Amino acid sequence: MISHSKIVVRYAETDKMAIVHHSNYPIWFEVARTDYIKNLGVHYRELENRGFMLPLVDLSCHYISPAYYEDELDVSARVINITYASMEYYYTVSRGSQLLCTGKTKHGIVDSKTFRPMNIKKFDSKLFELLKSNVEKID
Amino acid sequence: MISHSKIVVRYAETDKMAIVHHSNYPIWFEVARTDYIKNLGVHYRELENRGFMLPLVDLSCHYISPAYYEDELDVSARVINITYASMEYYYTVSRGSQLLCTGKTKHGIVDSKTFRPMNIKKFDSKLFELLKSNVEKID
Amino acid sequence: MISHSKIVVRYAETDKMAIVHHSNYPIWFEVARTDYIKNLGVHYRELENRGFMLPLVDLSCHYISPAYYEDELDVSARVINITYASMEYYYTVSRGSQLLCTGKTKHGIVDSKTFRPMNIKKFDSKLFELLKSNVEKID
Amino acid sequence: MISHSKIVVRYAETDKMAIVHHSNYPIWFEVARTDYIKNLGVHYRELENRGFMLPLVDLSCHYISPAYYEDELDVSARVINITYASMEYYYTVSRGSQLLCTGKTKHGIVDSKTFRPMNIKKFDSKLFELLKSNVEKID
């Protein structure tokens, strides 16, 4: 499954180059993860309330072309790998047919009280299977 | 007591007008509050760990002149009022002798678990007296 | 005219109190201004491209109740005053029927090259009349 | 040359996990780049004023351990590669002897008016030689 989120560039997201500051793309990726999980019928905040967190381990962004204030963008997200202890997402940011940025994040799966690794399959085997069955390849 | 914090404008804080985006001044005020409390010999994070929080009730900023990337700024902070249930701060942002912005914040004093008002004098009467004895007027 | 913008709270907008950090409300007000102008059939970025800017002079926020991650919020915006040299907006942030925050901003109208005041009526009298005819009172 | 910048974690930089949100590390890397260039006796804003910009092409972060509100951090920056058309930086973020994050950025060298690649050696051969002579390896 590949989810699609609509982002309209905020004025505050621009910098003195008059383009979107690069630190906003990871924030948009996060918006896309929230939507991805929601598309599976799960609210990420419910998972956190149940004691499950997904802090970042790795982030990478490849910036191809700038985005501008008021641009309407599509941010796609897909899970490209999941193990009992980690998940990987891949993202694209596009304006119409033009690809502006791609990115990846890798997340640890941890207990929200101890910040220690937890086994997602033991935590919620249905959720694990749901995520696993929706894994996609990068095009 | 009036505390002084040094801020060097970050690139990410600028916007497409090539000036600092206005949403950063409240963040600098917060940096100044952290320093203010530290100058009194107290770490704000210790207070939070002890169950005490100061969420904002009111914020106002008056923007006089823009700040730019790499500007070295002085942010002053002072407590201008304190009751058992609330505190008020006043701030100035200056570049050398030039005043760029003034601001005020009003904070509720709440229990960090319930988010309900708590009496700061009952929580820590020494802290209350310390804060009260350092109240300053606006020039 | 009162415009309405939908905001879904981003994870990055929360802080260690597990609520939305107060510095995000001015950013949402700005999103609402972009939508307000768009509702009048004008793109704010086109105005900037034509040499017109609206830097903030005054900002105030009154925080009533916290917003949380994934909350779906309504941000209303209206122009409450306009002169040849300045504009004032009023905002509300609500979750369902619950009012979370109100705010005001006052903007100077300046030439984007010189940052000096410009007369909006001389710049574009139709735009001035359009904005003026849509002025609303605060409820 | 390896530059060192001091960062004190701001409240606004935390998220509901009560740790620093990952999107702030790229902003700290940028602070470190500003300091790096300043250590070479050059102000980055002067370079931009002269028509030279360094937009990001690639960003990567490896998050090892969380940072917390009020933490005093050291952010190191070094140039690990420079060509006529691009530069690469490597960063570390540490709290005392503990390494919290490492990162890399790759920047294009472009003309600030056209956003097209420019040859840094032709733009300013002394600057190019200065940067090149300070290239360091990753430990």
Q: pLDDT tens, D54-104?
A: 999 999 999 999 999 999 999 999 999 999 999 999 999 999 999 999 999
- Report pLDDT for A42: 93
Give the integer Cα–Cα distance in Å for C81 and C133: 10
Cβ–Cβ gap A12/B14 under 8 Å: no
- Give A26-76 pLDDT, tens digit per residue: 999 999 999 999 999 999 999 999 998 999 999 999 999 999 999 999 999
- Any chains having at least 3 CB pairs less than 8 A from chain B are A, C, D
The ipTM, to two decimals, is 0.96
Which residues of B participate in catalysis according to the annotation?
15
Fold of the domain built from segment(s) B3-133: Thiol Ester Dehydrase; Chain A (3.10.129)
Min Cα separation B68/chain A (Å):
9
* CATH code of the domain occupying A3-132: 3.10.129.10
Is residue D102 a contact partner of residue D92, using CB atoms and an 8 Å limit?
Answer: yes
pLDDT classification of C129: cutoffs 50, 70, 90 = very high
Q: Determine the residue among D34, D49, D56 to mutate to test chain A binding: the one whose Cβ has the most chain A Cβ atoms within 10 Å.
A: D56
Give the integer Cα–Cα distance in Å for D28 and C29: 27
Is residue A15 a contact partner of residue B14, using CB atoms and an 8 Å limit?
Answer: yes
pLDDT classification of C64: cutoffs 50, 70, 90 = very high
Give the integer Cα–Cα distance in Å for A31 and A8: 12
C70 at interface of A, judged by CB pairs closer than 8 A = yes
pTM value surpassing 0.95: yes
D126 at interface of C, judged by CB pairs closer than 8 A = no
B115 at interface of C, judged by CB pairs closer than 8 A = yes
* Residues listed for chain C: 139
What stretches in chain B show pLDDT beneath 70? none
- Give D20-53 pLDDT, tens digit per residue: 999 999 999 999 999 999 999 999 999 999 998 9
Record the tokens describing residue C82, joined without a space.
């306009």
Which residue in C22, A30, C16, C36 sits closest to B107, CA to CA?
A: C22
Examine the residue annotation and report whether A15 is marked as an active-site residue of this protein: yes
B14 at interface of A, judged by CB pairs closer than 8 A = yes
Secondary structure of chain D in the HEC alphabet? CCEEEEEECCHHHECCCCCECCCHHHHHHHHHHHHHHHHCCCCHHHHHHCCEECCEEEEEEEECCCCCCCCEEEEEEEEEEECCCEEEEEEEEEECCEEEEEEEEEEECEECCCCCECCHHHHCHHHHHHHHHCCCCCC
CA-based nearest residue in chain B for residue A16: B18
- Using a pLDDT cut of 70, give the percent of chain C over it: 100
**Which of A53, A61, A66 is opposite residue D17, by nearest beta carbon?**
A53
- Report pLDDT for B139: 86
Domain limits of chain D?
A: 3-133
